[in-house]
């Protein structure tokens, strides 16, 4: 009887791996697309502002040409808006006499992109009038941030209205997963928003672009190092963050920090996830196989990311006659009457000139 060769053994191991991979992929491929919330539509602005998406994309192409880091900032802005009080652009509101805004809560202190959103709003409203909400602009900007940095392009259901209030500090803290949370905590938290483990792992893939401040992960380095962290990776991080209270920043994905791809999951398999909330996805038995499937199949990750993003973008949305369409994304219309008056005068003037 012939002895088994190395090549034979290699084929056997490979076939077992491939079989395992396809069974995992098949399990996650069966999930249906999320339904569209009543009041939203794929063609909401077809008549009132047909060029809204092209206006936003063209402007963001210019923005990202100057600073691709803004793509991650706008994607993060959408996450932080939707998880707290729903996708109502409440995170854009400035504080008032009634209290501090969502921007003043600890998880939001490093949010960026507010001026970009208001600039987009100005361009869109100049072209179409005040018909497109800031909440929709944030959702479209997040989609284009993904696509323009190398990720999937996808349709976004539109028709959101802007909220009239912002969430409290406590509500903000309760609804945003923290970087030091483990996978079990995050799975339980997001299950209340109807996200399953595949959704959670897919949404976490947003960390394939962007940066983080040292304060979000130095507890994994000091006073003792997290055992789940690769030694060389930890050594390099200590060079960037020499003390627990360092104010420096580093990239979330060491392999391709400015490209939206599946390398984030490769990082996790190599114990190079930056946050506890990242790395524990590969440690937890409920999410480990999902991480693996995304690491070896970028198309699968993209497909599941789109499903989860469309689902997230519809969290507790305001539609129809609820909410408003802000004339300035950072201020409620009721607090912005002088600006609104100038907008009306400008629109009337433009209409008169066009008729003349």
State the catalytic residue, choosing from 80, 125, 181, 207: 80
Our answer to whether residue 181 is catalytic in this structure is no
Contacts 24+ apart (CB under 8 A), 320-323: 320/39, 320/161, 322/161, 323/88, 323/133, 323/160, 323/161, 323/162, 323/163, 323/164
- Please name the helix (run of DSSP H) or strand (run of DSSP E) that holds residue 213, with its range, or none: strand 211-213
- Rounded CA-CA distance 307/2 in Å is 51
| Cα pseudo-dihedral 315, 319, 324, 326, rounded to 10 | 60
Q: Are 84 and 175 in contact, with CB atoms under 8 Å apart?
A: yes
Helices (H), 129-259: 134-148, 169-175, 183-191, 197-204, 231-240
The CA distances from residue 306 to 16, 27, 40, 44, 142, in Å, are 29, 17, 17, 19, 12
Both structure tokens of 11: 């084929």
Residues with Cβ < 8 Å from 343, sequence gap 6 or more? 125, 130, 327
**Length of the chain, please?**
356
Q: How far apart are CA 163 and CA 325, in angstroms?
A: 9
> What DSSP element (H or E) covers 81?
helix 69-83
| Residues labelled catalytic | 80
């Amino acid at each position: 009887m012939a002895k088994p060769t190395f090549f034979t053994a290699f084929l056997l191991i490979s076939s077992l791996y491939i079989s395992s991979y396809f069974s995992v992929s098949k399990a996650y491929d069966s999930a249906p697309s999320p339904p569209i919330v009543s009041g939203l539509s794929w063609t909401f602005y077809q008549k009132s502002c047909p060029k809204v998406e092209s206006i936003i994309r063209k402007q963001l192409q210019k923005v990202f040409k100057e600073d691709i880091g803004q793509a991650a900032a706008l994607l993060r802005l959408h996450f932080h808006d939707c998880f707290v009080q729903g996708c109502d652009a409440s995170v854009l509101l400035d504080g008032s006499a009634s209290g501090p805004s969502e921007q003043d809560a600890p998880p939001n202190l490093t949010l960026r992109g507010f001026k970009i959103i208001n600039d987009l709003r100005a361009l869109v409203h100049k072209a179409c009038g005040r018909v497109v909400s800031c909440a929709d602009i944030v959702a479209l900007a997040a989609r284009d941030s993904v696509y323009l940095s190398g990720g999937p392009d996808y349709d976004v259901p539109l028709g959101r209205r802007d909220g009239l209030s912002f969430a409290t500090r406590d509500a903000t803290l309760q609804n945003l997963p923290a970087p030091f949370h483990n996978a079990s905590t995050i799975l339980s938290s997001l299950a209340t928003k109807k996200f399953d483990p595949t959704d959670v792992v897919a949404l976490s893939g947003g960390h394939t672009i962007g940066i983080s401040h040292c304060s979000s992960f130095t507890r994994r380095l000091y006073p003792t190092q997290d055992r789940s962290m690769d030694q060389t990776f930890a050594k390099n991080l200590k060079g960037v963050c020499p003390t627990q209270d360092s104010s420096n920043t580093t990239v979330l994905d060491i392999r391709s920090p400015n490209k939206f791809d599946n390398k984030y999951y490769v990082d996790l398999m190599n114990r190079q996830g930056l946050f506890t909330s990242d790395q524990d996805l590969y440690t937890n038995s409920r999410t480990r196989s999902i991480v693996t499937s995304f690491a070896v199949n970028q198309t699968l990750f993209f497909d599941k990311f789109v499903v989860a993003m469309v689902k997230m973008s519809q969290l507790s949305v305001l539609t129809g006659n609820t909410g408003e369409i802000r004339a300035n994304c950072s201020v409620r219309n009721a607090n912005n009457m002088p600006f609104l008056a100038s907008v009306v005068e400008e629109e009337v003037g433009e209409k008169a000139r066009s008729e003349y």
